[in-house]
Structure 1
Amino acid sequence: MSKTSSAIAQRLPDPSTIEGKHRFREFELNDKVFIVTGGAQGLGLALAEALVEAGGHVYCLDIKSEPEQDFHDTKQRLAPQYDGTLHYKQVDVTKHDQLDATISAIADRHCRLDGLIAAAAIQQVEPAISYPYEDVPRMMGINYGGVFLSATICAKQMIKHNTPGSIVLVGSMSGLIANKGLMCSVYNSSKAAVIQLGRNLAMEWGQIVDGKPIRVNVLCPGNIITPMVVQNLKDDPTLKGLWERENMLGRISEPSEYRGAALFMLSNASSFMTGSHLVIDGGYTAW
């Protein structure tokens, strides 16, 4: 066996230790530990649920003092069915010391940290010409700065515990295009910055732990029915029809439609993927 083949084999479960018929074992996350920021509801929670089902211990971090009822319902539904676990911690992703203490405590408790989904973000719809300047650093601080802090703090814990893993930054197709009918220049700019951040972190951390990588990729969803988008559609009822027409599939997506992508990107199934952005947008950007 070549040196490269041997290294790949070490990252996958030993077939001799697996009982019964196991297919696609590279997707399993058994006993691995993950952080999901923005996990109180919406997309973050949907992605966290998939990681739990695959066997992961998942900690959802959000600024809310208590998560939405959907979180409690999801936790109750998952508990009797899967070996993975779902937890919640209140944290502000723009506060370095608070975020560092929370993530460090989680990693120290398990003596490992295997992955991150950085999904915390806000949106503000406003024409650029009337956009309050003081709101620019606030949005960039959360949508970019919070992602940067989350990624770097998690990477430090992966290095500390010698458990190099996978980091998924949640960008958006909005980081690649201007959304028709939606005036959110600063939000779109913040998502473009996240895509570029993913490339640079992947480059820096490609062989950081004894020659082993911390992989970094960006998930770029299209229009999703989340609380943020629901508010957009309330503010401007014409957007729903416009967005549906602009998608080749003729509809807006649900958060659950990104579960498979998140599991792929965080598991060994994507072991040769880093520095990439995965666009899942119903064909919006493919015209």
Structure 2
Amino acid sequence: MATRTISNAVLRSSSGSRPGSRSSSGSRSSLPPQAPTQSSPSSGTSTPPNPLQNIPIRFSSTNVPKINPETPQSLRKPVSDLFSLDSQVILVSGAARGVGLTQAAGLLQAGAKVHALDILPDPSLDPKSDFSIVKNTYPSSTLTYHRVDVRDQDRLNQIVSSIAEKEGRLDGLIAAAGIQREESALEYKKEDVDEMMEVNVTGVFMTAQAVAREMIKRKTKGSIVLIASMSGTVANRGLICPAYNASKAGVIQLARNLASEWGEHGIRVNTLSPGYIVTAMTAGLFEAVPERRKAWPDANMLRRLSYPEEYQGAAIFLLSDASSFMTGADLRIDGGHCAW
């Protein structure tokens, strides 16, 4: 009981004081004002004051944050609209089938007019391609095919220039053309290494160059996405692809340098680095090397392989106003493979 009496006395003393008032010793108190303590009717004990009781409301209907008057008009729209590619003209290389075609389908859904570039004579006649299905699925959008080898710089420049001339604009590029080859470093032939680098690095470079040239000519602040790979960051355990991995590392570094040069024109350049993807090619690899069917999924944190459609949203993000301040970056989507 004595303890309770002393405690209550102290509480009564502190609750009765005011800020700046002098204590019994003559010193000025620096304690903030406290709300009176409340006694519990059932127990008679005192409860501490609510520390939030006297805090004023910071926001109301009259003082909510306003849009910064300096924010560009292109960003003053709903977040969902920032991801729109409505009426934009976008090129996709390597788009006859596979990941490139899946990317083209995603762009069509986002409202873009897509020009697909690839080496096949006519993808609609290729039994391995779903090009016709994609084209017929989005009849309100435009999907046009152009045959070109990305190693043929003159032809590439001609096609890109003609597209820009016809459309009157060129807003974006996904450079997805590439080849893969699994070969021991001790067995690689020079001509095979040269081919890998010509397609995966030089071809990507020349495609980006042709598109950027038209953007600069028309003063278009466009976006360029180069498809790299997580293999450009790490050496794949159990997958011997020294030339391929080196080529994808080159693409990542290429993007940084292009971004530094073309940023003054408002052109953004980024890379998208996928992890292992379920494709017809990987299915064939699993047939040849069955142990990879388990080893590859186990190598990442999600314990599964990815699907081509899982990269559509990332590409739309990189091409749209949603990523308007992003350039020179690598967006790696690998299920956590490289984070171990």
In the TM superposition, residue 5 of structure 1 has moved relative to its aligned partner by 6.0
1:27 aligned partner: 83
In the TM superposition, residue 23 of structure 1 has moved relative to its aligned partner by 5.1
Mapped partners of 2:193, 2:116: distance in 1: 26
Aligned residues: 269
Mapped partners of 1:232, 1:160: distance in 2: 44
The 5 Å alignment of 1:1-287 reads 6=70, 8-12=71-75, 24-67=80-123, 68=126, 69-79=129-139, 83-208=140-265, 213-287=266-340
In the TM superposition, residue 267 of structure 1 has moved relative to its aligned partner by 0.3
Contact 1:215 1:275 in 2 (8 A): yes
Choose between structure 1 and 2: higher helix proportion: 1
In the TM superposition, residue 216 of structure 1 has moved relative to its aligned partner by 0.2
Mapped partners of 1:216, 1:267: distance in 2: 12
Mapped partners of 1:196, 1:229: distance in 2: 26
Q: One-letter code of the match for 2:122?
A: E
Mapped partners of 1:255, 1:133: distance in 2: 31
Which has the bigger relative contact order, CA under 8 A and spacing at least 6?
Answer: 1
Q: One-letter code of the match for 2:316?
A: L
Mapped partners of 1:173, 1:267: distance in 2: 23
- Change in Cα spacing, 1:177 to 1:46, as seen in structure 2 (3 Å) is same
Secondary structure, counterpart of 2:190 in structure 1:
coil
Answer with 230-239 or 38-47: which moved more: 230-239
Post-superposition Cα deviations, 1:47-81, rounded to whole Å, max 9, x if no partner, equal 111111111100111101111441110111111xx
In the TM superposition, residue 231 of structure 1 has moved relative to its aligned partner by 3.1
Secondary structure, counterpart of 2:203 in structure 1:
helix
Mapped partners of 1:114, 1:149: distance in 2: 17
So what's the TM-score if we normalise by structure 2?
Answer: 0.76
In the TM superposition, residue 199 of structure 1 has moved relative to its aligned partner by 0.5
Secondary structure, counterpart of 2:310 in structure 1:
helix
Post-superposition Cα deviations, 1:167-201, rounded to whole Å, max 9, x if no partner, equal 00000000000111111100000000000001000
- Change in Cα spacing, 1:162 to 1:84, as seen in structure 2 (3 Å) is farther
For structure 1, the 5+ residue unaligned runs are: 16-21
Contact 1:50 1:259 in 2 (8 A): yes
Q: One-letter code of the match for 1:77?
A: T
- Change in Cα spacing, 1:28 to 1:127, as seen in structure 2 (3 Å) is same
Q: One-letter code of the match for 2:191?
A: E
Q: One-letter code of the match for 1:254?
A: Y
In the TM superposition, residue 232 of structure 1 has moved relative to its aligned partner by 2.6
Answer with 229-238 or 178-187: which moved more: 229-238
Larger radius of gyration: 2
Contact 1:112 1:162 in 2 (8 A): no
Secondary structure, counterpart of 1:24 in structure 2:
helix
Mapped partners of 2:285, 2:219: distance in 1: 43
For structure 2, the 5+ residue unaligned runs are: 1-67
Q: One-letter code of the match for 1:75?
A: K
1:19 aligned partner: none
Contact 1:34 1:116 in 2 (8 A): yes
Secondary structure, counterpart of 2:263 in structure 1:
coil
Secondary structure, counterpart of 2:293 in structure 1:
helix
So what's the TM-score if we normalise by structure 1?
Answer: 0.90
Mapped partners of 2:79, 2:325: distance in 1: 19
Deviation >3 Å, runs of 4+: none
